Amino acid sequence: KARVAVLISGTGTNMAALLYAAKAEDCPYEIALVASNNPDAAGLKLAEAEGIATFAHPHKGLSREAHDDIMHDALVAAKADYVALAGYMRILSPEFVGKWEGRMLNIHPSLLPKYKGLHTHERALEAGDSHGGCSVHLVTAELDDGPILGQTPVAILPGDTPESLGQRVLIAEHQLYSRTLAAFVARESSPDYLIAQIRERALALPEAD
């Protein structure tokens, strides 16, 4: 099974959804590590209780690059194949993103490209949108901007507040993230995909003499 490290900063309900989905026998990934910049993140305790390895290192007093290096070393030590950001409230250095490019996913609580950054539900409500929602995307150096792998629209109800909409979006997030991660990992390890990769690399090689 592919080894996934999950990075969290807070409650970790998306991490929990990934973890419980991974308990299914046919799930193509397992959780190798739950890591955080916040040693008090509630999700760390849950992961520990579920027998998952955890790692925490506060970012305070460290440069972005220095903290990212510490996290990267922990991911490598855990032999992670993929990284899933799940409410990891840190902007990542381009160096860190470069090391995991194509293998790092994020979940964002809006229908990207709408409402990158924070306060997404508030902004959807203010704009009078019919739907909020969530997106899973590959992480690139630009914030909340990489290729979108999956999205779920969530209808906005009369009287919705950012909190009430956020709660419904979170339910959709849990379902979307585990499903999208599983599909991504399965596609990448499928024989067709691997053969296509080998072909692509062979074509990129210079002609033999």
Binding-site residue positions: 12-14, 64, 89-92, 106
* Residue in 170, 181, 182, 185 binding ligand GAR, rule: CB under 6 A: 170
Residue 198 exposed, middle or buried by CB count within 10 Å (0-12, 13-18, 19+): exposed
With binding defined as CB under 6 A, does residue 11 bind ligand GAR? yes
Verify whether residue 108 is a known catalytic residue: yes
Give the H or E element holding residue 24.
none
Q: 36 with 7: CB under 8 angstroms?
A: yes
With binding defined as CB under 6 A, does residue 10 bind ligand GAR? yes
Distance of CA 195 to the CA centre of its chain: 26
* Residue in 81, 129, 160, 173 binding ligand GAR, rule: CB under 6 A: 173
Give the H or E element holding residue 106.
strand 104-108
Three-state secondary-structure class, residue 52: coil
With binding defined as CB under 6 A, does residue 28 bind ligand GAR? no
With binding defined as CB under 6 A, does residue 108 bind ligand GAR? yes
Residues lying near ligand GAR in the complex (CB under 6 A): 8, 10-14, 86-87, 107-109, 170, 173
